[in-house]
């Protein structure tokens, strides 16, 4: 199968590695606006060749759009304009509502399968691409009724080849959920980094940055070009989650200030329940045998 | 050398492992108020034997107090009362000012070397004890002028045996710095856990909890019995850091809301500078050859 990947960074590059290795793709064409990334992707063997945007969309089986979500918004309609009638298109952006809305009336909307594989690292660019990034994780497919069955099936097959389970939901549900488990943790990390960086005159702070600090602040190393558009596109739910988070912090602050009450202990004990939840292996997935889990509306 | 460790949890147990392995200690006596932990520590071979508090303090070279900071406050004066004239005492609590203040007029204050090895995990109890937990990390020694030279030297030697560098500062400096790099990240994790747990009706949230979420929330698994007293004892600086953090979050929130400005990009770009700072290997330590680094006032 011939695959076209637009955007050869962490996600696009990692998908290329595993889809080649698993023989899902026999031929991978890469598209990237950045000449340095083109070179690197070729050198690293992520793709078989680099082509111009228009050429790469001809006679290809599957197009994966793996670029920042603001760029998806402008690139996706052109992709749908240019592909052959049977080509499947998917994107891997972290937001879905705005993107789906941008092509809702496109004559080739049925060729498009909006998705979001939930995996990543704080690194970016072709050199960040690693094998097995997606293994055992979940990919979300949105509004699947609006994709034609053959295109949906191909994208499901692709995620199975990557070792992923699939959860189906509306693009609104995906944006709401992802705000809490992905976008909010990024905001909290960026803000923590800024808080500590502003204290930089106390230079010793960074020498003392232990494992606890490093893991909490890890996401703050992520790409601004990727994350700013995500916060913008998912503004409503990111603001909702951020407001809830600030409220929780204010509660902890008052509880620390008020030494007469047991409130602080209660809040911390409540929080530690996250251990059971995370240690349970995906309690809400009915089956996880590298198959499609029809959890939602499908 | 005979060592007495009071508190056989993550820190006390991990110190026992490495201090035995490195032959710094030839004999380790354990004290723990929890009978289950006594048993476990013996079974795991962390200590040679368990003794009662009073007995364990007789004819020992070095006493390490590795219990929650509220307990240190009451236990430390008794330890100083009971030890022989030549016994050295150290504690490993995350706060120092209140603890140092509690024994400032004790006749054996010179036997005490207040310290804080900056390492840990989110796990606790004897089974959480691991080898090499401290290797390459920094231990803080506070107000060292108030410890007699022979006691200071022994505690320095102990941290060297654990592979640690040593930073000297006042207990006030330690509490201020540690608020930002350790206590604040714990508050932020506890609050993030509560924010997401409160959304629990959206069960899919936990299935989707990816690596980014898990690393940001990891510290929220930590022991409430350990952390609540830390927040209380370092109240002033924890509140200061938390207020600064909330201010940073509010700024990000407004910047996300106001799409007309470049403020959001600027804030996120600023935050990513944490990468250079953390990737530089301890830029502010002059030497790091597993030796004592006399960075501060000493």
How do the domains of chain A map onto residue ranges?
2-170, 175-279
Q: For residue B275, name the pLDDT band (cuts at 50, 70, 90).
A: confident
The three-point CA angle A56-A86-A292 to 5° equals 100
**Which chain A residue is nearest to residue B275, measuring alpha carbons?**
A221
**Which chain A residue is nearest to residue B209, measuring alpha carbons?**
A181
A151-184 as b/e: b if 16+ CB within 10 A: bbebbbebbbbbebbbbbbbbebbbbbbbbbbbb
CATH fold of A2-170 reads Rossmann fold (3.40.50)
pLDDT surpassing 90 at residue B290: no
Give chain B's end-to-end CA distance (angstroms, integer): 27
Q: Which residues of A touch B190 (CB under 8 A)?
A: 252, 267-268, 271-272
pLDDT value for B284: 43
pLDDT value for A30: 98
Give chain A's end-to-end CA distance (angstroms, integer): 27
**Which chain A residue is nearest to residue B245, measuring alpha carbons?**
A195
pLDDT value for B296: 39
Rg (C-alpha) for chain A, rounded Å, is: 21
Q: Which residues of A touch B181 (CB under 8 A)?
A: 196, 205, 208-210, 213
Q: For residue B294, name the pLDDT band (cuts at 50, 70, 90).
A: very low
pLDDT: which is higher, A295 or A104 = A104
CB contact under 8 A, A246 and B246: yes
CATH number of this structure's domain A175-279: 1.10.3660.10
Question: Distance (Å, rounded) from C-alpha A169 to C-alpha A143?
Answer: 6
Q: Which residues of B touch A243 (CB under 8 A)?
A: 253
Question: Distance (Å, rounded) from C-alpha B225 to C-alpha B229?
Answer: 7
Q: In what order do the strands lie in the sheet with B2-6?
A: B49-50, B27-31, B2-6, B62-65, B88-91, B112-117, B138-142, B165-169
Calculate helix-pair angle for A235-257, A224-233, nearest 10 degrees: 100
pLDDT digits (tens, 9 = 90+) for A90-103: 999 999 999 999 99
pLDDT digits (tens, 9 = 90+) for A118-164: 999 989 999 999 999 999 888 999 999 999 999 999 999 999 999 99
Question: Distance (Å, rounded) from C-alpha B203 to C-alpha B206?
Answer: 6
- B96-115 average pLDDT score: 98
Q: What ipTM describes this predicted complex?
A: 0.90
pLDDT value for A63: 98
The nearest CA of chain B is from the CA of A50 a distance in Å of 30
CB contact under 8 A, A180 and B196: yes
pLDDT digits (tens, 9 = 90+) for A42-67: 999 999 999 999 999 999 999 999 99
pLDDT digits (tens, 9 = 90+) for B54-89: 999 999 999 999 999 999 999 999 999 999 999 999
Cross-chain CB nearest to B207 (options A251, A265, A285):
A285
pLDDT value for A165: 87
Question: Does residue A185 sit in helix, strand or coil?
Answer: helix
The nearest CA of chain B is from the CA of A10 a distance in Å of 14
pLDDT: which is higher, A69 or A214 = A69
Question: Distance (Å, rounded) from C-alpha B166 to C-alpha A194?
Answer: 27
Q: In what order do the strands lie in the sheet with A112-117?
A: A49-50, A27-31, A2-6, A62-65, A88-91, A112-117, A138-142, A165-169
Q: Which residues of A touch B275 (CB under 8 A)?
A: 220-221
CB contact under 8 A, B211 and A241: no
The nearest CA of chain B is from the CA of A208 a distance in Å of 7
CB pairs under 8 A between A and B: 315
Question: Distance (Å, rounded) from C-alpha B79 to C-alpha B72?
Answer: 10
Cross-chain CB nearest to B180 (options A167, A199, A256):
A199
- B211-221 average pLDDT score: 86
- A190-207 average pLDDT score: 80
Lowest mean pLDDT among B43-52, B96-105, B288-297: B288-297
Q: What is the number of other CB atoms lying within 10 angstroms of the CB of residue A82?
A: 16
- A19-26 average pLDDT score: 95
- B212-236 average pLDDT score: 93
A210-220 as b/e: b if 16+ CB within 10 A: bbbbebbbbbb
pLDDT value for B201: 57
Mutation target to probe the A interface, by most A beta carbons within 10 A, among B133, B193, B232 is B193
pLDDT: which is higher, B238 or B214 = B238
Mean pLDDT for all residues in chain B: 91
Question: Distance (Å, rounded) from C-alpha B127 to C-alpha B125?
Answer: 6
**Which chain B residue is nearest to residue A233, measuring alpha carbons?**
B256
pTM of this structure: 0.90
pLDDT: which is higher, B75 or B273 = B75
Q: For residue A294, name the pLDDT band (cuts at 50, 70, 90).
A: very low
Cross-chain CB nearest to B205 (options A177, A210, A242):
A177
pLDDT value for A202: 56
pLDDT surpassing 90 at residue B210: no
> Is the separation of the CB atoms in A219 and B215 below 8 Å?
yes
Nearest to B7 by CA among B59, B63, B77, B85: B63
pLDDT value for B159: 96
Question: Distance (Å, rounded) from C-alpha A181 to C-alpha A255?
Answer: 25
Question: Distance (Å, rounded) from C-alpha A237 to C-alpha A25?
Answer: 36
Mean pLDDT for all residues in chain A: 91
- A12-17 average pLDDT score: 98
pLDDT surpassing 80 at residue B113: yes
pLDDT value for B281: 55
**Which chain A residue is nearest to residue B193, measuring alpha carbons?**
A271
pLDDT surpassing 50 at residue A275: yes
Q: Which residues of B touch A273 (CB under 8 A)?
A: 193, 197
Question: Distance (Å, rounded) from C-alpha B267 to C-alpha A194?
Answer: 8
Cross-chain CB nearest to B216 (options A188, A242, A243):
A188
pLDDT value for A291: 44
Q: What is the number of other CB atoms lying within 10 angstroms of the CB of residue B260?
A: 5
Cross-chain CB nearest to B210 (options A182, A235, A273):
A182
Q: How far is CA A155 from the centre of its chain?
A: 16
Q: Which residues of A touch B233 (CB under 8 A)?
A: none
pLDDT value for A290: 38
pLDDT surpassing 70 at residue A289: no
pLDDT value for A200: 63
CB contact under 8 A, A190 and B252: yes
Q: What string of H, E and C letters represents the secondary structure of chain B?
A: CEEEEECCCHHHHHHHHHHHHCCCCCEEEEECCCHHHHHHHHHCCCCCEECCHHHHCCCCCEEEECCCHHHHHHHHHHHHHHCCCCCEEEECCCCCHHHHHHCCCCCCHHHEEEEEECCCCCCCCHHHCCCCCCCCCEEEEECHHHCCHHHHHHHHHHHHHCCCEEEEECHHHHHHHHHHHHHHHHHHHHHHHHHHHCCCCCCHHHHCCCHHHHHHHHHHHCCHHHHHHHHHHCHHHHHHHHHHHHHHHHHHHHHHHCCCCCHHHHHHHHHHCHHHHHHCCCCCCCCCCCCECCCCCC
- A224-235 average pLDDT score: 96
Q: Which residues of B touch A138 (CB under 8 A)?
A: 207-208
Q: Percentage of residues in chain B with pLDDT exceeding 90? A: 79
Cross-chain CB nearest to A192 (options B185, B199, B209):
B185
pLDDT: which is higher, A295 or B189 = B189
């Amino acid at each position: 199968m011939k695959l076209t990947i637009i955007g050869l960074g962490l996600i696009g590059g990692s998908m290329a590695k595993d889809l080649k290795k698993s023989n899902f793709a026999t031929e991978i064409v890469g598209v990237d606006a950045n000449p340095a990334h083109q070179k690197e992707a070729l050198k690293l063997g992520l793709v078989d060749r680099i082509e111009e945007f228009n050429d790469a969309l001809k006679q290809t089986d599957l197009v994966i759009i793996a670029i920042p979500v603001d760029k998806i918004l402008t690139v996706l309609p052109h992709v749908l304009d240019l592909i052959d009638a049977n080509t499947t298109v998917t994107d891997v952006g972290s937001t879905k509502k705005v993107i789906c809305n941008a092509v809702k009336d496109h004559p080739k909307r049925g060729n498009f399968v909006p998705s979001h594989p939930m995996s990543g690292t704080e690194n970016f660019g072709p050199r960040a691409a690693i094998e097995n990034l997606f293994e055992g994780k979940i990919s979300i497919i949105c509004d699947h009724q609006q994709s034609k069955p053959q295109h949906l099936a191909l994208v499901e097959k692709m995620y199975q080849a990557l070792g992923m389970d699939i959860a189906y939901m509306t693009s609104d549900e995906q944006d709401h959920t992802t705000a809490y488990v992905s976008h909010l943790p990024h905001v909290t990390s960026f803000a923590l980094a800024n808080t500590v960086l502003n204290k930089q005159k106390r230079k010793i702070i960074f020498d003392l940055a232990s494992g606890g600090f490093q893991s909490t602040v890890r996401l703050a190393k992520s790409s601004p070009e990727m994350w700013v558009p995500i916060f913008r596109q998912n503004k409503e739910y990111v603001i909702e989650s951020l407001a809830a988070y600030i409220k929780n912090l204010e509660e902890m602050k008052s509880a620390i200030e008020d030494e007469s009450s047991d409130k602080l202990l209660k809040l911390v004990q409540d929080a530690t329940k996250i251990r059971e939840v995370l240690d349970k292996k995906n309690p809400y997935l009915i089956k996880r045998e590298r198959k499609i889990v029809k959890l939602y509306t499908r």
